[in-house]
Structure 1
Amino acid sequence: MEFLAILIAWGAVQLWGSGGAVQRDEWLQRYSGWLKSLPSPALRITLLVLPPALLVALAVEALRDWVFGLPALLMSLAILLYSLGRGDFQIQLRLYLNSWQRGDLAGAYRHGQHFSEELCDSGADNALELHHSVRQAVFYQGFERWFAVVFWFVLLGAGGALAYRILFLAARHRATGCQQEDRNLAAQALFYIEWLPVRLLGFAFALIGHFDDSFAAWRRHSFAGVAGANDEGLGSAEYLDAVGSKAVSVRLPEGQVDGDCFTRTAADQLSAVQQLLSRSLLCWVAVLAVLEIF
């Protein structure tokens, strides 16, 4: 049932560009507001994530024996679509690349902010820094909007996928209304929740990309420590960029931060990142299909 739900969700995302109308977060904002009076950030985050996830898991299990499992499938599909990433990834990347290739760095920066709140906060001093920030954000957004959700959906069902998305929204989106200390705690929890799927995706990068360089980076960064960030300070986004940038064949010209050659090569590199994410998705689907058969 889970594999069928994943295939249908993948087809829906190709059609709509996102999870569509089911991705409405007003309920989460209201629920977060109800929890604000609780005394502890740990208690607030726990109650924000666990009750909805457990309720969904129990409901899917209760429906599993009805009408050949069709109600359970439909509910799992709806929760999976809700749990996928927000916005149309392909359109936002296209808008960014259009501005970048025209030499409109202000427009590219504006479109790049859709990929990363960190870019909104810190800014970028030059074209090279902007490109690195957006490349890292594209790797991470490609991961969080699909790969992490599917990993927890396969492992724990619809409740696991929903728990991941709620925790991600609490950590990364101010619109949820979570207090800053709650956001910080959610971000720490998110690091551990993402630790394993991030490394599995990094391994997929090595398998389908430039193997020697990317596998060396995967081996160097994957097990450097898990105490909130590894020994080199790599969170999920930094890790994916460190491994993924070695997997793509397009490399930036050394020491060059402007000019037509740099602009063209940086655009080609982002297109290569997009293709790497797409091939990794097919790799994961193939692995899930094999697991489904056996």
Structure 2
Amino acid sequence: MSITLVAVVLALVLGHVAPTLVASLRRYAWYDAWLHWLGESAGGAWQARYGIALALVPVLLVVALLQGLLDGPVYGLVGLLFDIAVLVYAWGPRDLDVDVEAVIDAHDAPSRRAAIARLGLTGETAALDGPALVEAVFANALRRWFGVLFWFLLLGPVGAMLYRLAVHSRASEVLPEQNRRGTQVLTTALEWPVAQLMTLAMALVGNFDTVFTAWREAGGTRFRLDTGFLPHAARASVRGELAEEAEEYAEEGMVQAMRDLPELRDAMSLVWRILLLWLATLAVFVIGGWVS
């Protein structure tokens, strides 16, 4: 767990200090080539619903083998460096807060649309729509940060690579239809517990009643592979926090300061608080000696 704290901090620092360099290192062309080769050579097994296992299992076996072999040399230092390297590689591939800051700092419409596109919003959805931006921030937080972090905590480097490659496979255009559906099911299964924990943390760092109500109304209480409750709870939480902020200004007899893209700013602030709560919880477990 202490490795995770170091690795997450390092990933965030590198994303700020050298975002272009880090993004260039987080390339998966080798995996795309592997998917393409399987599409040409694997035959009917690749066409099946769970054909993605043909792509994931060999890669994960190699990572697991390295994880085991490197755990012992030099008092575990080599294994520590390997764990950190894998987490930093699987993080992102672009750092979320850097992309959000680019949207806020954009001074003209074309550059702002380009920055918003890096959050996954294009076409009509690339307009400055507050709820859509909130959803984009939390969807990217799940894919870029929390999904990788959660599975790294459970399975180590194998878990981090499993989640990153599954998400990358879902976006690939070379998968056959049935294979793509199976990949979607796998990715949603990997994301469901993460989204639940993110929503719980959101309730703890924000307005608990607002988040809990939105989570329940969106079907978060039902045990099904659907993460739609997360954006619903996020929109409700951000909307509630902005309303509370306006009320505080009114009570103090002040005119609320005009801010550009308030929903986007508040969503990113909320994501930061969730991440800090996760890391603080990890730190408590480490200090308490419950985990190594």
Question: Do the two structures share a fold, i.e. TM-score over 0.5?
Answer: yes
The whole-number CA distance in structure 2 between the counterparts of 1:21 and 1:133 is: 28
Deviation of the 1:108 alpha carbon: 3.7
The whole-number CA distance in structure 2 between the counterparts of 1:10 and 1:126 is: 28
User: Equivalent of 1:5, from 4, 7, 12?
Assistant: 7
Q: Which residue of structure 1 aligns with residue 115 of structure 2? A: 111
Deviation of the 1:22 alpha carbon: 3.3
Instruction: State, as a whole percentage, how many aligned pairs show the same letter.
Output: 26
Tell me which amino acid in the other structure corresponds to 2:78. P
Gaps of 5+ in 1: 230-234, 254-263
User: Equivalent of 1:33, from 20, 27, 36?
Assistant: 36
Deviations 1:172-209 (A, max 9, x none): 354xx434543333222211111111110111111011
User: Equivalent of 2:62, from 55, 63, 67?
Assistant: 55
| Preserved contact between residue 15 and residue 94 of structure 2 (Cα < 8 Å) | no
1:187 and 2:194 correspond: no
Instruction: Note the 1:211-230 alignment, pairs <5 A.
Output: 211-221=208-218, 223-229=220-226
| Preserved contact between residue 80 and residue 161 of structure 1 (Cα < 8 Å) | yes
Secondary structure class of the residue paired with 2:261: helix
Tell me which amino acid in the other structure corresponds to 1:114. R
Deviation of the 1:224 alpha carbon: 4.1
Change (3 A) 1:71 1:94: same
Q: Which residue of structure 2 aligns with residue 204 of structure 1? A: 201
User: Equivalent of 1:24, from 22, 27, 40?
Assistant: 27
Change (3 A) 1:125 1:276: closer
- Give the length in aligned residue pairs: 268
User: Equivalent of 1:250, from 195, 218, 242?
Assistant: 242
The whole-number CA distance in structure 1 between the counterparts of 2:179 and 2:260 is: 37
Change (3 A) 1:283 1:222: farther
Instruction: Note the 1:30-179 alignment, pairs <5 A.
Output: 30-37=33-40, 38-39=43-44, 40-99=47-106, 107-116=111-120, 119-120=121-122, 123-124=124-125, 127=128, 130-174=129-173, 177-179=174-176
Q: TM-score, normalised by structure 1?
A: 0.80
Runs of 4+ in 1 over 4 A off after TM superposition: 18-21, 104-107
Tell me which amino acid in the other structure corresponds to 1:206. A
Tell me which amino acid in the other structure corresponds to 1:241. P
The whole-number CA distance in structure 2 between the counterparts of 1:11 and 1:179 is: 38
| Preserved contact between residue 206 and residue 215 of structure 1 (Cα < 8 Å) | yes
Q: Which residue of structure 1 aligns with residue 249 of structure 2? A: none
Range moving further from structure 2, 201-210 or 264-273: 264-273
Q: TM-score, normalised by structure 2?
A: 0.80
The whole-number CA distance in structure 2 between the counterparts of 1:13 and 1:194 is: 23
The whole-number CA distance in structure 2 between the counterparts of 1:247 and 1:82 is: 31
Deviation of the 1:78 alpha carbon: 1.4
1:285 and 2:282 correspond: no
Secondary structure class of the residue paired with 1:35: helix
Secondary structure class of the residue paired with 1:112: helix
Deviation of the 1:7 alpha carbon: 3.7
